[in-house]
Structure formats: structure tokens, C-alpha cells
Amino acid sequence: DIQMTQSPSSLPASLGERVTISCRASHDIFNNLNWYQQTPDGTIKPLIYYTSNLQSDVPSRFSGSGSGTDFSLTISSLEPEDFAMYYCQQDVTFPWTFGGGTKLEMK
Amino acid sequence: QVTLKESGPGILQPSQTLSLTCTFSGFSLNTYGMGVGWIRQSSGKGLEWLANIWWDDDKYYNPSLRNRLTISKDTSNNQAFLKITTVDTADPATYYCARIGRYSGRYFFDYWGQGVMVTVSS
């Protein structure tokens, strides 16, 4: 199985701040990396597919980059609704696997 | 508008079989490239992918659950199903179903249900 490791597991930040979440794969996954947001009520929202493609209705302050084994999700200027959990996920091979998550919390 | 909603028994006893239903609208599992997947999240933990089923009835399972999983679909009624046999203390979780969309030749969980909680208790 491909292991997905996210860092940090917790990220304190302030409104308006620029933040970056990292995701590392145990094997080369090319660009087959997706990102999801989970709000405190459990709702899961897809953000980015294939490393850097924003899903429809996702604000442009979100961006993704990387390739191979190292990827990142950047939020350019934090809004109140961005404080949530974030998960990366690879779909290059089965079993599809998720990272352990990063909790973005208000400082 | 794409929507998905999970339903299940809420609570069941150890060793029983868990049966989950995903009822969806806004798309068809007869459409080329479409799929539905099941993902679960134990309390306070991360997301675990369980199984996918595709428009052509192709199926993939998480090998960590060995032979306990069965995924199926009813395209006439826009439903997908997941059965987990012999539940135990590792199976309580919130179970999500999600649509698998095809983007740039790759696949992505592009719509999610709200999740359904499952408890295992004797």
C-alpha cells in the first residue's frame, strides 16, 4: 500500500495568513493526488484533483502543487470558513489511501 | 444537482452483518466513467477507503478488510450498497458514500454524502 503522510498534524494560524500543508507519498504517485476539506460538522468537500485542479466552486485562494512524492496545499489568505481538517488522497493505485489529516485551527 | 445519502442500521451487535445503502440523485451509475465509493471514519480518526463500484460493475476492495466487504449497485433505483460481515469493535465509524467523477482521465471523489454513524454494541 502507498502510505500518505501529512504535516503538520495541527496548524495554528490567523485570519488573512498564508498557510501551506504538506503531503508525502511513500512511492511515486506522479500527479495523482487529491485534497479534501472536512468541516467540524463532518461535511467533506472536495477541493483539488490531480494535484492542482480546483474543483468547481472552490475559491481561488486555494492552490495545489507538487509531483512524484511531495505535494502541498496552500491557502493564500485564510478566511473564517477555512478552519477545518484537510486530507490528501492518492488514486494512482488501489487501495486508495488518505493522509492522516491536518487540523487548521485558529491561533 | 448531485446528492448522495447514506442509510444504515445505526446500531448492531458484534458478529452481525452491516448493511449500508447509498441513495443518490443527479447522476446514473449506467453512465460511462461513473462510480460510487465507500469511505469510513472512526471517531477522532482519519479517512479509510473501503470499496468502489463502477458503471461497468467493476469493483475494488480494501484488502485490509480481507473478504468481509461486498459492494453492489441497483442502477434502476439509483442506489449503491455495502455489506461488511462479522462486525467487531474496529468497525464503529461514520460511513460515507461518494460519487467518483472522471476528470482529466483520473478519478476523484467529487460529491459526498453526509455520512451515517454505525455503533457496534452487545
pLDDT tens readout for residues A49-77: 999 999 999 999 999 999 999 999 999 99
Q: Which residues in chain A touch residue B106, judged by CB atoms under 8 angstroms apart?
A: 32, 49-50, 91
pLDDT at A72: 98
- Contact between chains at B109 and A94 (C-beta distance less than 8 A): no
Count of Cβ atoms closer than 10 Å to residue A72 Cβ = 17
CB distance A96–B94 less than 8 Å? no
- DSSP classification of residue B17: P
- Nearest Cα to A22, choosing from A73, A80, A61, A66? A73
Kindly state whether B63 is in contact with chain A, defined as any CB-CB distance less than 8 angstroms: yes
Q: Which three cell numbers stand for residue A25?
A: 507519498
**Are residues A82 and A104 in contact, defined by beta-carbon separation less than 8 angstroms?**
yes
State the pLDDT at residue B66: 73
Residues B58-89: pLDDT tens digits?
999 999 997 999 999 999 999 999 999 999 98
Confidence of residue B104 (pLDDT cuts 50, 70, 90): confident
Burial (0-12, 13-18, 19+ Cβ within 10 Å), A44: buried
Q: Give the separation between CA B119 and CA B8, rounded to whole angstroms.
A: 10
Inter-chain CB proximity A95 and B103 less than 8 Å: no
The predicted pLDDT at position B103 comes to 86
pLDDT in tens, A20-52: 999 999 999 999 999 999 999 999 999 999 999
Q: Which of A44, A51, A85, A94 to mutate to test the interface with B (most CBs of B within 10 A)?
A: A44
* B108 interfacial to chain A (CB closer than 8 Å): yes
Going A73 to A75 to B97 to B35, the CA torsion angle's sign is: negative
Q: Do A50 and B106 touch (CB under 8 A)?
A: yes
C-beta atoms of B46 and A100 within 8 A: yes
Say what the pLDDT of residue B106 is: 86
> What's the grid cell of residue A55?
474543483
For chain B, what is the mean pLDDT?
A: 95
B93-122: average pLDDT: 94
pLDDT of residue B44: 85
B102 or A48: which carries more pLDDT confidence?
A48
What's the mean pLDDT in B25-40?
Answer: 96
Average pLDDT over residues B27-38: 95
What is the predicted pLDDT for the residue at B5?
98
Note whether B51 and B61 are within 8 A (CB): yes
Read off the pLDDT of each residue in B12-38 and give the average, rounded to a whole number.
Answer: 96
A46 inside 8 A of chain B by CB: yes
B16 pLDDT exceeds 90? yes
